[in-house]
């Protein structure tokens, strides 16, 4: 799949999934119609992340879902993931591209128009822009926390690559993010911590698709 077609994007984090394993959450998200999965699990060591990645690769490949690895280009290559997602303090987009090749999907986090334009110029295929509504899943500088759908719209207008909104997004507030021009939304707790991850994924997808329909008609 192309990032422009991603409506729902799950970022994994076992620590908030209660008694469910990451593969169980991913399997349920696939059942609910997830478009892309990012292996994050930063609290685990490289060996554990690699072994988990192999399991997720099998699940996602069978379902035709894109698998992206957060930060670790070496793990992405080792498990034959579809790509990697890097932040502003990780390996540069251009280096990740050189290491993984032209066919890999390389995403980059951005919170400003300047960062977004630089990532696109360096060869990013898509942007993860946020934190849209604020997040507690990771430490984010105050200036980058809760940037709102307005910043999403600014970034979308400044680049030609797809934008995925992330940070505090839920089925209840994803609509304005999609209406601002984002291809879709990325979530952690909305799916991983849900009582029913499959139903949560489906609800999120419906919200985004409804908003995209409104955007197309305007």
Q: What is the pLDDT of residues 46-75, one digit of tens each?
A: 999 999 999 999 999 999 999 999 999 999
Residue 109 annotated among the catalytic residues of the structure:
yes
Give the whole-angstrom CA distance, residue 49 versus residue 72: 10
Alpha-carbon dihedral 145, 150, 153, 158, rounded to 10 degrees: -70
Q: What average pLDDT does this structure show over 66-85? A: 98
Q: What average pLDDT does this structure show over 17-46? A: 96
The DSSP output letter for 12 is P
Note the pLDDT of residue 139: 58
Note the pLDDT of residue 217: 74
- Helix/strand/coil for 84: strand
On the question of pLDDT at 140 being above 80, the answer is no
On the question of pLDDT at 173 being above 70, the answer is yes
Per annotation, catalytic residue among 40, 49, 57, 72: 40
CA count, 13 A, side-chain hemisphere, 175: 10
Q: Which pLDDT band holds residue 213 (cuts at 50, 70, 90)? A: confident
Residues facing 10 on adjacent strands: 37, 187
Note the pLDDT of residue 214: 79
Give the whole-angstrom CA distance, residue 130 versus residue 53: 25
Q: What average pLDDT does this structure show over 195-218? A: 92
Question: Which of 31, 95, 104, 94 has its CA nearest to residue 66?
Answer: 104
Give the whole-angstrom CA distance, residue 127 versus residue 117: 10
Residues facing 184 on adjacent strands: 164
Residue 160 annotated among the catalytic residues of the structure:
no
pLDDT in tens, 101-131: 999 999 999 999 999 999 999 999 999 999 9
Residue 11 has φ and ψ, to the nearest 5°, of -105, 120
70-83 burial: b if 16+ Cβ within 10 Å, else e: bbbbebbebbebbb
On the question of pLDDT at 143 being above 60, the answer is no
Average pLDDT for the chain: 94
- Helix/strand/coil for 183: coil
Residue 138 annotated among the catalytic residues of the structure:
yes
Per annotation, catalytic residue among 4, 42, 138, 157: 138
Question: Which of 101, 103, 73, 102 has its CA nearest to residue 85?
Answer: 73
Per annotation, catalytic residue among 109, 111, 137, 189: 109
């Amino acid at each position: 799949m192309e990032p422009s077609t991603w409506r729902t994007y799950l970022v994994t984090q076992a620590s908030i999934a209660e008694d469910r394993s990451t593969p169980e959450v991913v399997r349920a998200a696939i059942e609910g119609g997830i478009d892309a999965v990012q292996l994050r699990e930063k609290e685990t060591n490289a060996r554990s992340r690699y072994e988990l990645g192999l399991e997720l690769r099998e699940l996602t490949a069978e379902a035709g879902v894109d698998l992206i690895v957060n930060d670790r280009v070496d793990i992405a290559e080792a498990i034959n993931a579809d790509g990697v997602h890097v932040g502003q303090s990780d390996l540069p987009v251009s280096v990740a591209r050189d290491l993984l090749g032209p066919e890999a999907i390389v995403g980059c986090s951005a919170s400003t128009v300047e960062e977004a334009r630089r990532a696109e110029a360096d060869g990013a295929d898509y942007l993860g822009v946020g934190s849209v509504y604020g997040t507690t899943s990771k430490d984010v500088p105050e200036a980058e926390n809760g940037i709102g759908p307005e910043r999403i719209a600014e970034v979308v207008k400044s680049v030609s690559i797809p934008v995925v909104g992330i940070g505090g997004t839920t089925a209840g507030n994803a609509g304005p993010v999609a209406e601002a021009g984002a291809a879709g939304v990325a979530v952690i707790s909305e799916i991983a911590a849900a009582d029913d991850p499959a139903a949560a994924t489906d609800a999120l997808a419906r919200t985004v698709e409804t908003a995209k329909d409104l955007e197309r008609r305007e």
